Structure 1
Amino acid sequence: MAESGGLLRCDVAIAGGGFVGLSLALALGELPLSVVVIEPLPPARQYPPDLDARTTALAPGSRRVLEAIGAWRGIAAEATPIHSIHVSDAGTGGFARLEAAEQGLEALGHTIGNAALGRALRERAAELPRLQLHAAAATGVQSAPGGRRLATSTGLMVEARLVVAADGAGSVLRSALGIAARVREYGQQAIIANLETGRGHAHVAHERFTRAGPIAALPVAAGRVAIVWTLPEREACRVLALDEAAFLVELQRAFGFRLGRFVRAGRREAWPLALTESVVTAADRALLVGNAAQGLHPAAAQGFNLALRDVATLAEILADEIAAQGPAADPGAGHVLQRYVEWREADRRLAIRFTDTLVDLFGSERGLLRVARGAGLLAFDLAGPVKREFGRRLMGLAGRQPRLVRGLPLVADRPTA
C-alpha cells in the first residue's frame, strides 16, 4: 500500500464499512492484498447506522464465515441459538415448524445484537496489518490506468485495482458507476423492539403472518425476544406513537400468546421497507455486494446472510486467482469479475424471488389464496423431505456454496500450527 500526497494506492478499495464491507475486508485479510475501507465513521468505537440496537439473525453458513474471518470469537458469548422456527398464518390457522434436529444441525442459526457484531468486526479489523480504514465517504469514481480512482469527502483519492460497493441499498458508488437499480416500495415500515415476555423464548424463532404484515419474534440474550413488526406506513406511525402499555396490547392482539404475555418493551425504532435490485452487479473493475447489489424485505431474514455469501464467494475467487497467477494476479481483471457474477447470480435471484413472493403471498387477503396458503403450510409441515430441502435453502446451505460457508479454509494449502 502506497500513499503519495492526496493519493492512496491499494489492491482493493471497499466503499462502506458496515457489516458487509468489514466482513469482506476481514475475508481478504488472509490474502496478500492491500485493502482500504472507506466509511464516514466518527472516532473509534462509534459505529455506522446499521450497528445500532437492532438484532441480526445468522444462518449456520454465516456463522462459519464469521468463524473463518476471526469475528465469531468476539460475539460467541452473546449469540443466542435458534433451535426451532415456527411459522404461522393468523388468517387461516396454518402453521409449520422447522427443527434443528430435522436438519442434522445443533442450531438453525443464531441471533446477535448489531452493536456486538459491529464491535467484533471492528476489533478484528484492527488486528490486520494490510487493512486500512479511512474515515470518509466515497463521493465519486473515475477510471485510472489499471484500476479505478475513488474520490472521498476528505479530498483523499484512493486508487485500486478493484473497487467494491458495500455502501448499502442507497449506494452512492453504484450511482457513480452508472449502474441502475430497480426499486419496489412496499409501502410498509418495520418496527423493531426488544421485549420481555411471560414465558421466555425457549430458543424458538417465530414468523407470524397477519393481515397487516408479518411479525418476526427472535430469541435473544437474557430470555428476551426481538420483534420485527411490519405494518403499512400510516399504521406504523400510529403504533410508534403509542405509549408502552398500548403498544404491547396491540402487538399482543396481532401476535397472540405463544410467548405468554408481553411484559415490557424496550426502545422502538422503525425503517421503511423496499426491494432494491441492482440491474447488474459488476462494471469495469468494480463489483457490488450486499445491499448495494440487493436490498431485501426482512420477512425471511435473508439480507445479511445473502451478503456474507457474496463476501465468501468473492474471497474464494480472489484466493484461487492468486494461487493460480501468483504475483501477476489482478483482483479487478474481467474474467475474475465475470466468474463472481456467474457464481452469485442463481443464489441472488432465488433469494430476491423467494422474499418478494413471500411478501405477496402472505400479504394477500384473496379468499382462495388464503385457503391455499393455510393448507400449504400444513402440508409443508407434514412433508419431511420437502421441509428439509426448504430449510437448507432458507439457511443458505443448498446449491453450490463457497468454501467459507461450508466451513473449509479459504486457502486450501494453509499451513497448520
Structure 2
Amino acid sequence: MASPTPAPPQPDSARTTTPDGATRDARTHDVLIVGGGLVGSSLAIALARIGVDVGLVEATAPGSLPPVFDQRNLSFAEASVHALTALGVMQKLRAPTGAIRRIHVSRQGDFGRVLLEAGRHGREEFGRVVVARDFGEALEARVAELPGIVRYRPARFEATSVEPGSEASLREVQLSEGGNPLHLRARLLVGADGADSGVRRALGIGHARHEYGQVLFVCRLRTDRQPEGTAFERLGPGGPTALLPRGDRHYGLVLGVPADEAAPVSALDDAAFLARAQATFGWRAGRFLECGPRSLYPAVKVEAEALASERAVLVGNAAQAIHPLGAQGFNLGLRDAMTLVDLIESTRRDGAEGDFGHANLLQAYVARRREDRAATIAFSDGLARVGANGSSFLAPLRSVGLFAADRLPSVQAGLVGGALGYRGDVPRLCRRPA
C-alpha cells in the first residue's frame, strides 16, 4: 500500500472496487507524478515545498533506489545547482562534488579546439559534477522530510482517462501496487517515467526515436594528474569521450564506441580498456592508471511529439531523451520541472487554487519550454552527428567551427549560456540568487 498512509479522501473522491468486491474512496491529488527518478523526485520536492498535495508513483520498493541512481556522473549546470540548492537537495549530498571551471572540446583528426573558462565570463564555475547514486540518496532524504508527498511504491502505472469536455474533470489513473489494482485521481498527471514512458503511450502522444549507433561506457577513472576543474569532451567517429572532474580527485569517464564493438570492449580487462580509452582520448589529462566498475548505455534520442494532453504533461526523459554529449539531458529535464512549478505557483497567486490541470496552464507550459527544448535538442544532436561524421571533406569545416567557437565572442556567449543552463525562459529557482 502507499507509504506513508494517505490522508482521508477528499469530498470529491470517487469510489473504486477492490478485488473482494468491496468499495473504497479513491484518493485525489493536486498533482500525481509517475516516476521517482532524477526529475520526478525533484519536481515532487519543489511542489511539496509550496503546499501542493503530491502523489509520487515509484517502481522501486522502500529502501531501494531506481537503477538510474548508479555510479554514472552527472554534470549539473549552474542553473540546476541553484534550483537544487533552493530545494534543499544539494545540502544532503554526502560525497564531495567537483567544480567545472573549464570546458575543453576537441575532435580526433581535426585542428583547433574550444576552451571555455568560467572566470572569463564572470563565474567561478560552470557547474558541479555529482555521482548519481549520491544524488539519489540526497533526493530520498529530502523527499522523506516532506509530509506533503504521498508515495506509492512499488507501483506500476497502468492506464489513465479523463472525462472529456469538462474543465472541472479530473484525471483517472489506474496503478498496480504490490500486485493489487489501485485507482487514483489527479487534477494534473505528470509523466516523468523515462524515455520508454508508459504515461506518454497512454496519452496517445507519439515520439521520434533515433539510434546513434553508439554505446557509452561509464566508470570512475584515476590518472597521474589530479583534475583541476577541467571537463574534457573529445569527439570522434566512434562516439565521444568525456572526462568530468569529480570531487574525489578522480574523473568520471564516458567512452563512446560503435555499437557493433560494444561486446568485445565489454570483454576487455581493465588494462586493455584503459589502453583503448587512452588511445581514443589522448594525453591531455595525463596517463590513465585505474578505472572502477563499468556500466554501458546505448546512445539514443527520443523526442515526444507533444508535451501536454488534457490535464497531463511530460517532463524529463519522457518529454525528450537526448544524447549525453554536452551533459544537457538532466539539466533540460530539471528546467521542465521547475517551469511547471513556476506556473503552478502563479496559478495559486492568481486565485485559481488547486486547478493545476487547467488548459491555460498547460498551454503556457508548452510555450515556455519551446525555445529551450528546441535549442538544447538541436545542440546535442548536431554535436553528436557532426562529431561522429568521419568524412575528410568535412574536416576543414569542423576545424573552422572549432576556431569560431573558440574565438568569436558571439558564438562563445551562446555556448557559455548553454553550459550554465540559461536558455529560453529560465525558471525562477534556476536563476542566479540575489
Letter in 1 for 2:358: A
Listed as ranges, the matches of 1:298-317 within 5 Å are: 298-317=324-343
Which stretch has the larger CA shift, 144-153 or 161-170? 144-153
Q: Which SS does the other structure have where 2:400 is aligned? A: helix
| Contact persistence 1:364–1:370 (CA under 8 A) | no
- Equivalent residue in structure 1 for 2:113, among 82, 95, 98: 95
| Contact persistence 2:74–2:132 (CA under 8 A) | yes
How far the C-alpha of 1:287 sits from its partner, in A, is 0.1
1:325 paired to 2:325: no
Aligned to 1:50: 68
Q: Which SS does the other structure have where 1:242 is aligned? A: coil
1:228 paired to 2:254: yes
Aligned to 2:277: 251
Listed as ranges, the matches of 1:374-393 within 5 Å are: 374-393=399-418
1:157 paired to 2:219: no
| Contact persistence 1:197–1:259 (CA under 8 A) | yes
Listed as ranges, the matches of 1:173-252 within 5 Å are: 173-252=199-278
Aligned to 1:69: 87
How far the C-alpha of 1:407 sits from its partner, in A, is 3.9
When residues 211 and 53 of structure 1 are mapped into structure 2, their CA distance, relative to the original with a 3 A threshold, is same
Letter in 2 for 1:223: R
How far the C-alpha of 1:372 sits from its partner, in A, is 1.2
Which stretch has the larger CA shift, 141-150 or 249-258? 141-150
Q: Which SS does the other structure have where 1:78 is aligned? A: coil
Aligned to 1:59: 77
How far the C-alpha of 1:6 sits from its partner, in A, is 6.3
Paired with 1:67 and 1:305, the residues of 2 have a C-alpha distance of 14
How far the C-alpha of 1:30 sits from its partner, in A, is 2.4
- Equivalent residue in structure 1 for 2:133, among 100, 106, 115: 115
Letter in 2 for 1:394: A
Q: Which SS does the other structure have where 2:425 is aligned? A: coil
- Equivalent residue in structure 2 for 1:30, among 46, 49, 56: 49
1:405 paired to 2:430: yes
Listed as ranges, the matches of 1:124-143 within 5 Å are: 124-135=142-153, 136-143=155-162
Q: Which SS does the other structure have where 2:27 is aligned? A: strand
1:13 paired to 2:38: no
Paired with 1:287 and 1:78, the residues of 2 have a C-alpha distance of 34
Q: Which SS does the other structure have where 1:158 is aligned? A: strand
| Contact persistence 2:222–2:290 (CA under 8 A) | yes
Deviation >6 Å, runs of 4+: none
How far the C-alpha of 1:397 sits from its partner, in A, is 1.5
1:297 paired to 2:320: no
Aligned to 1:360: 385
| Contact persistence 1:81–1:111 (CA under 8 A) | yes
Letter in 1 for 2:74: T
Paired with 2:374 and 2:415, the residues of 1 have a C-alpha distance of 16
| Contact persistence 1:91–1:211 (CA under 8 A) | no
Paired with 1:275 and 1:171, the residues of 2 have a C-alpha distance of 13
Letter in 2 for 1:95: R
Aligned to 2:19: none
Unaligned runs of 5+ in 1: 410-417
| Contact persistence 1:34–1:131 (CA under 8 A) | yes
How far the C-alpha of 1:375 sits from its partner, in A, is 2.3
How far the C-alpha of 1:102 sits from its partner, in A, is 1.6
Listed as ranges, the matches of 1:257-268 within 5 Å are: 257-268=283-294
Normalising by structure 2, report the TM-score.
0.91
Aligned to 1:148: 171
How far the C-alpha of 1:209 sits from its partner, in A, is 0.7
Letter in 2 for 1:254: T
| Contact persistence 1:8–1:156 (CA under 8 A) | no
Aligned to 2:369: 344
Aligned to 2:4: none
| Contact persistence 1:188–1:272 (CA under 8 A) | yes
When residues 385 and 179 of structure 1 are mapped into structure 2, their CA distance, relative to the original with a 3 A threshold, is closer
How far the C-alpha of 1:351 sits from its partner, in A, is 0.9
Aligned to 1:414: none
Which stretch has the larger CA shift, 333-342 or 208-217? 208-217
Q: Which SS does the other structure have where 1:390 is aligned? A: helix
In angstroms, what is the RMSD of aligned CA positions? 1.6
Paired with 1:178 and 1:400, the residues of 2 have a C-alpha distance of 27
Aligned to 1:373: 398
Paired with 2:75 and 2:25, the residues of 1 have a C-alpha distance of 40
Paired with 2:40 and 2:92, the residues of 1 have a C-alpha distance of 18
Letter in 2 for 1:159: R
Q: How many residues align?
A: 407
Paired with 1:331 and 1:236, the residues of 2 have a C-alpha distance of 45
How far the C-alpha of 1:385 sits from its partner, in A, is 4.0
How far the C-alpha of 1:76 sits from its partner, in A, is 7.2
Q: Which SS does the other structure have where 1:223 is aligned? A: coil
| Contact persistence 1:191–1:269 (CA under 8 A) | yes
Normalising by structure 1, report the TM-score.
0.94
How far the C-alpha of 1:326 sits from its partner, in A, is 4.9
For each residue in 1:303-345, what CA deviation from the matched residue of structure 2 results, as whole angstroms up to 9, or x when unmatched? 0000111111100000000001153x41000001000001101
How far the C-alpha of 1:34 sits from its partner, in A, is 0.5
